Structure 1
Amino acid sequence: MVVPHHGTGARLARHRLAAELGPIVPAPRLADLVAVLAELVGNAVRHADPLPGGVIRVSWRLATSLDGQRILLRVTDGGAAAGPRIRAADPDAADGRGLHIVSGLANRWGVERDGLGQSVWAEFDPVAAPRPDLVVAG
């Protein structure tokens, strides 16, 4: 999907991701996906140039294996002079923790660059489906 290189882009991407994956991804995993996507789009808006047309490209891919569903999120922007990196944030700082969140919630993340810009991706390992013979009493 393509979203504006603006704060509203993160909101649009979060809502679309939740609508598409909500019915098939467990709620705790969906919350992680939404949080990471919001961070990646927010970072693209704050720190990178837009793609031509003033946009950011956002994608997700769901692959099913015997272990469950592996999910890859990708945010592509026009790049920046300095690439994304985890930085130390002062406890009183208002920002600077976004990639800590991404690193803490995703199993892996990274950056790929080409002649048009950069993509920051985050991958989530499968979440095993609940066992039908396991009953949790509430």
Structure 2
Amino acid sequence: MQVLQVQLAVQADPAEVGRARKWVRARLAGNGLDPDASVAETLVLVVSELVTNAVVHTGSPAVLRLTLPVVADAVASTVRVEVADSSHAAPAPRRAGCDEDATNGRGLELVELLCDRWGWYPDGSGKRVWCEIDPVASIHVERQEPVASVL
């Protein structure tokens, strides 16, 4: 299986998060993946959360890296997202609490829920947070019939 690895330098500015989302959509489209597919939407959301965490919590630049399958393998291969920053502090999932209007505290919780795997490791002068999404698993989840809940 062949993969394409691309990366984007992100400045220490929260406005860079929007640029990272646009960049991811363009990379997906350029690699033959439908940028409007639900797996693409998931990737864009995960990138948004990880880049936001890196920029907001470190106040320094970061590097976003995507590892994408080549077009022939696009439907069957895992997509990996990595964000490297200059902080040695471990990412700490927080719960937003009972306040439904809270604007932070859900990022890593979303990553955990949306990705098949995620983690982090020390890397050079900082750390690298990574996650993987298996498009095939995402397709199977999308096709499941809704389960009726009993109240």
TM range (shorter): 0.7 to 0.9
CA distance in 1, matches of 2:62, 2:116: 23
Conservation of the 8 A alpha-carbon contact between 1:49 and 1:78: no
With over 3 angstroms needed to count, the CA separation of the structure-2 counterparts of 1:49 and 1:78, relative to structure 1, is: farther
8 Å Cα contact 2:49-2:108 kept in structure 1: yes
Distance 1:43 1:31, change over 3 A: same
Structure (1/2) with the larger helix percentage: 2
Aligned to 1:119: 128
Tell me the C-alpha RMSD between the 2 structures: 2.2
Gaps of 5+ in 2: 1-7, 140-151
- Give the conservation status (yes or no) of the 8 Å contact 1:49–1:79: no
After TM superposition, give the deviation of residue 62 of structure 1 in Å: 1.2
Q: Deviations over 1:28-79 (max 9, x none)?
A: 00000000000000011111242xxxx2101100136597121000011101
CA distance in 2: counterparts of 1:121 and 1:47, whole angstroms: 16
Tell me the amino acid that sits aligned with residue 49 of structure 2: E
SS in 2 for 1:90: coil
Do the aligned residues in 2 keep the contact of 1:70 with 1:126 (CA within 8 Å)? yes
Q: Which runs of 4+ in 1 moved over 4 A?
A: 64-67
Q: Normalised by the size of structure 2, how large is the TM-score? A: 0.73
**1:70 and 2:73 are equivalent in the alignment:** no
Aligned residues: 124
Q: For residue 10 of structure 1, what is the aligned residue in structure 2?
A: 17
Aligned-residue identity in percent: 35
What does residue 54 of structure 2 align with?
44
Q: 5+ unaligned residues in a row in structure 1: which ranges?
A: 131-138
